[in-house]
Amino acid sequence: MVTVKDLAKMEDLLLKGNAACAGCPIGVALRTTLKALGRKTIMFVPACCTSVVQGIGPGAAISVPLFNTAFETAASVASGAAAAAEILGKDVTILAWAGDGGTYDIGLQAISGAAERGDNVLYICYNNQMYSNTGIQRSGATPLGAWTTTTWTGKTEHMKDMGMILIAHRVPYVAATSVGYPDDIYEKVKKAKEKKGFRYIDILAPCPPGWRFPSDMTIRLGRLAIETGFWLLYEYEDGELRFNGYTKLVAEGKREFKPVEEFLRLQDRFRHLFEPKRRDDILEEIQRWIKERFEWYLSLAKI
């Protein structure tokens, strides 16, 4: 298992001087992903924060070839590129790199098509649970109760379970990870790289301006999401679902999930659940949803 210290020594393909906000989870997610994939990688990026983070043309802060594409087309453009790579006999990783809006919502059809066809694409969603590049609007990945600029009193629905949608496609590899654990991101990307066919990784990406927390707390929230069961670390591989890290410890009965309030309280997107009046109805529903979702995963998993 790689350590964070090992990661620091590896070649950086996301360069300094990129246009990310302070504390941006892309800094961790993309940097680690490119360390795992190396230079023989071609990126396909739809409209998302990475469109901005890469910097203003003609310069660029990403050292692998990259095609910026339309919102709903990360998977479909990558499908074409994968076909071309096969024709050319090129040994490259075709990486579709998209946010949750481009993945859970507008890009879902193209992802389903590419997954069903088994196109040789590694699709990574860095998931900050909203449309952040357009200014914090609700997406299918936004959790219940979260404030966004299109859900001022809190979202009234739970997030969509994209990982399960991909598992239902029976693709070779599906994983969920979190910016709180760069070593876990690295190992999962590395494993996905060695597989053929359509592979999907969902990286939970706590966003300081979007989730409303100080920019030095990105990693802490990325860990708390896991420790509370709000997000799960898992891999679906060769038809089997397995947990990793803290999630695995909970599944094995060695740890318990912390109360979700510990995670929610640190983010002002949930502040209205605590003040001026405590919203026990919503807090209990989130806690219930975490339990129910974990039980669902447990019922499918090999422990």
Partner 1 sequence: MSGRRVIIDTGNSAVAYAVKDAEVKVIAAYPITPQTTIVEKIAQFIEYGQMDAKMIRVESEHSAMAAIIGSEAMGVRSFTATSSHGLALMHEMLWYASNARLPVVMAVANRTMGPPWNIWADWGDAMADRDIGWIMSWAANNQEVYDFTLISYRVAEDKRIVLPAMVNLEAFVLTHTSMPFEICGEETREYLPEYDPVWKLDPDDPIIMGNLFSPADTMKLRWDMWESMERAKKVIAEAIREYNERFNRNYEGLIKTYKMDDADYAILSMGTIGEEAEVATDVLREEGLKVGTVRINFFRPFPREDIIKTLNGVSKVIIFERSSSIGASGQIMQDLGQSLLLEKMQLDVNDVFIGIGGTDVSYEDIVNVVKKAIKGDLAPLYWYGSEGW
Please report, as ranges, the residues that interact with partner 1 according to CB under 8 A. 39-42, 44, 51-52, 54-58, 60, 62-70, 72-73, 75-88, 90, 92, 109-110, 112-113, 116-117, 119
Compare residues 15 and 266 and give the one whose CB is closer to partner 1: 15
CB of 50 to partner 1, least distance (A): 10
Least Cα distance to 146 among 134, 131, 163, 167 occurs for: 131
Residue 256: Cβ within 10 Å count: 10
CB of 132 to partner 1, least distance (A): 16
CB of 279 to partner 1, least distance (A): 40
Is the CB of residue 67 less than 8 Å from the CB of residue 77? yes
Nearest 5°: phi and psi at 211? Answer: -95, -10
CB of 109 to partner 1, least distance (A): 6
Residue 15: Cβ within 10 Å count: 14
- Rounded to an integer, what distance in angstroms lies between the CA atom of residue 186 and that of residue 197? 19
Q: Three-state DSSP class for 176?
A: strand
Is the CB of residue 244 less than 8 Å from the CB of residue 233? yes
Compare residues 58 and 253 and give the one whose CB is closer to partner 1: 58
CB of 85 to partner 1, least distance (A): 6
Compare residues 73 and 148 and give the one whose CB is closer to partner 1: 73
Task: Write the single-letter amino acid at 209.
Answer: P
Compare residues 59 and 276 and give the one whose CB is closer to partner 1: 59
Compare residues 86 and 280 and give the one whose CB is closer to partner 1: 86
CB of 165 to partner 1, least distance (A): 14
Compare residues 2 and 60 and give the one whose CB is closer to partner 1: 60
Q: Where does residue 172 rank: exposed (0-12), middle (13-18), buried (19+ CB within 10 A)? A: middle
- Rounded to an integer, what distance in angstroms lies between the CA atom of residue 186 and that of residue 163? 18
- Rounded to an integer, what distance in angstroms lies between the CA atom of residue 23 and that of residue 25? 6
